[in-house]
Structure 1
Amino acid sequence: MRIVIIEDEIKAAKSLAGMIAKIKPSATIEAMLHSIESAVAYLSVNPQPDLLFMDVQLSDGLCFEIFKMVKIDCPVIFTTAFGEYSMDAIKSNGVDYLLKPFAAKDLEAAFAKMDNFRNFFQQHTQPDWQALISKLERNEGKTSFLVLHQNKYITVRTDQIAYIYIKFDAPYIVTFQQQKYTVSQTMEQLQSQLSSKQFYRLNRQYLVNFDAIKEVEHYSSRKLALQLSVPTEEQLTVGKDKMTQFLQWMENR
C-alpha cells in the first residue's frame, strides 16, 4: 500500500508514519507534505497513492482547497483536532477521520474500514468529492465568542471581529469599533471555528475578516500590502507563496 501524508506539523506527521509502520509494515510512505501548495504540486505530477492521510487544518488553509485544484481518485482519511467539520458527511462517502490526539487502536480501526471498502474503490467508484466539500463548507463557523473583559463575561459577535492577531504569544480579538479583547484559545483553535470564506489567515500572526479589508496593492513583485478599515500595529502583507491563493479567496465570494 502506497501512502501519502499531508500534515503541517512535522512531529505529528512522523508520529503518524511510525504508527502506520507498526500497523501496516508492508505499507510505503511515499511522501510527507506540509501545505496545500506542496500537496497540489506533488499530486499534480505523481501517480495517486493508494491512500491519503490529510490533516484538515494546514499551515496555508483548510485541506479542502486541495480538491479544488487537483483531482483526487483515492480514498482519504482526514485527521483533525476539531470536530466542527461535518464528519458525518465524510463517513457517508466511504472515507474516515481520526480526531486528534488518536491512539493506535483508532488507526487500526481506520485501516479496517478501508479494507472493508477495498472492492468499492477497485471498481473506480469514488466519493463525490465536490458534494462532500460543499457539505463541509456549509459550516459558517461560530456566531459569537464569550470573552472575559474587566472581570465581566461579554459576548463578541463574529461579524464584529475585524481581525485577530497574536502579541507576546497571546491572541487578541479586535472589533470594527476598535475594541480589543484577549482570548484563551490558540490562533489555530480560533481559525477552526470561523468561516474560511469570511476569514483568512495571512500568516502566523494575523487572521483577517474579508469585510475589514479596505485596500490591497502590490507592495513589491513578491508581496501584496493590505490596509484594513481598522488600524493595525504593523503593515500587513501577503507573501508570494500565498498571493494566488489569497486573491482567489478575495474573488470567490
Structure 2
Amino acid sequence: MTMYKILIIEDEAPARKKLKRFLDKTGHSYKIVAELETVSDAKLLLSQTQDFDIIFSDIELRDGNIFELYNEVSLNCPIIFATAYNAFLMSAFEANGIEYLLKPYSFERFSNAWDKFIRLKANSNQNYNELIGTISHLLKSNKENNIGYKEQFAIKSNKETYFLKVEDIVCFQADGGIIFAFDQLNKRHIMPYATLKEIEAFLDPKKFFRINRSENIQRKFIDKIERYNKNTISVYLNSQRKTVKTSQNKTSDFNAWLGI
C-alpha cells in the first residue's frame, strides 16, 4: 500500500485533530511529515525540503497569510486548502490548490478532495482535463458556500434552542476549547463552534476584529482605548463592563482598523 507523505499547516489544534481523524477514515496509509502553525515555520521547512505528496493548508495563520509564502516559493506538490474564509479561492488555485474546503467542512467534502488527490497522484501526467476542470469546480463550490454574514446564531441548550442576534454580541472569547459570546448584559453564551476562525467566516470584518488569539470584539461596543504598555492597548467595551487587551502583533492592525 502506498504511504502518502503529508504536511499540515494549521494553527488551530482542533482543526488538526479533525483533519487527522478524517485521514484515518479514508483507509489509506499516510505519514504526517510535520505539523506547522506559522508562516515562518512553513517558510523554513519548505526551504529545506519539499518531500511531500500533499499539503493541507490553512490560510490565515497566527503570524500572517500563507500566500506570503506561496507567492515566493515554487511548489512541486498539490495543496488542499481548509479555511474559514472564502475570499482566497483564486489565490488558492494559483498556488497549486486542487480543492478549497470551507470550514466547518464535512467528511464527504473532505473525502471528495482526498479522492481527487489520489486520482491526480495515480496519473503521472496529472490529467490535464481534470486540472483544468478544477477552476470551474472551485468557482462553483465557492459560490455555493458563500454563506454570507449571519444576523443571528442558533444557541442550543438541553431544553431549548434560542437565537442570539449578532448586533447584540459585544465580543467572542475562546477559553479551554470552548467559544463564548458575551452580550450587552455581559451574559455568556456557549457557541456551537470549536474555533474563532469558524465563527469569523460569518462576521463582517468591518464590524468585528480579532484583537488577540482568543478574543474578537465588535466595533460599536468600544467605549475607549488606552495604552497598556509599549506595544499593547487596553480596550474598554460595553459601558466598560468588559476590558480586553490587544496582542503585540495585532496592535498596529487594530489601530488601522479603527482608522487612528
Shorter-chain-normalised TM-score: which range? 0.5 to 0.7
**Contact residue 224 and residue 237 of structure 1 kept, 8 A:** yes
Which of 218, 224, 245 is the equivalent residue of 2:227? 218
1:143 is matched with: 151
Q: 1:108 deviation in Å?
A: 4.6
**Contact residue 163 and residue 209 of structure 1 kept, 8 A:** yes
**Secondary structure of the residue that 2:246 maps to in structure 1?**
strand
Identity of aligned pairs, percent?
19
2:189 is matched with: 182
Q: State the TM-score, normalized to the length of structure 2.
A: 0.57
Separation of aligned partners in 2, 1:36 and 1:236: 26
**Contact residue 179 and residue 195 of structure 2 kept, 8 A:** no
**Contact residue 212 and residue 250 of structure 2 kept, 8 A:** no
Q: 1:208 deviation in Å?
A: 1.0
Separation of aligned partners in 1, 2:29 and 2:246: 41
Q: 1:78 deviation in Å?
A: 2.0
Q: 1:162 deviation in Å?
A: 1.9
1:12 is matched with: 17
**Contact residue 142 and residue 193 of structure 1 kept, 8 A:** no
- Residue-by-residue CA offset, 1:39-66 (whole Å, 9 max, x unaligned): 4x548967877743113675x49x8x33
1:67 is matched with: 67
**Contact residue 162 and residue 174 of structure 1 kept, 8 A:** yes
Which consecutive residues of structure 1, in runs of 5 or more, have no partner in the other structure?
none
Q: 1:14 deviation in Å?
A: 9.2
Separation of aligned partners in 1, 2:41 and 2:257: 18
**Secondary structure of the residue that 1:240 maps to in structure 2?**
coil
Which of 37, 52, 56 is the equivalent residue of 2:55? 52
Separation of aligned partners in 2, 1:103 and 1:250: 37
Distance 1:37 1:77, change over 3 A: same
Matches within 5 A, 1:173-252: 173-175=181-183, 177-178=184-185, 180-186=187-193, 188=195, 191-195=199-203, 197=205, 198-203=207-212, 205-233=214-242, 235-247=243-255, 250=258
Q: State the TM-score, normalized to the length of structure 1.
A: 0.59
1:111 aligns with 2:117: yes
Q: 1:6 deviation in Å?
A: 0.6
Separation of aligned partners in 2, 1:249 and 1:220: 20
RMSD: 5.4
Q: 1:248 deviation in Å?
A: 5.5
**Contact residue 231 and residue 248 of structure 2 kept, 8 A:** yes
Separation of aligned partners in 1, 2:53 and 2:224: 44
Which consecutive residues of structure 2, in runs of 5 or more, have no partner in the other structure?
none
**Contact residue 232 and residue 246 of structure 2 kept, 8 A:** yes
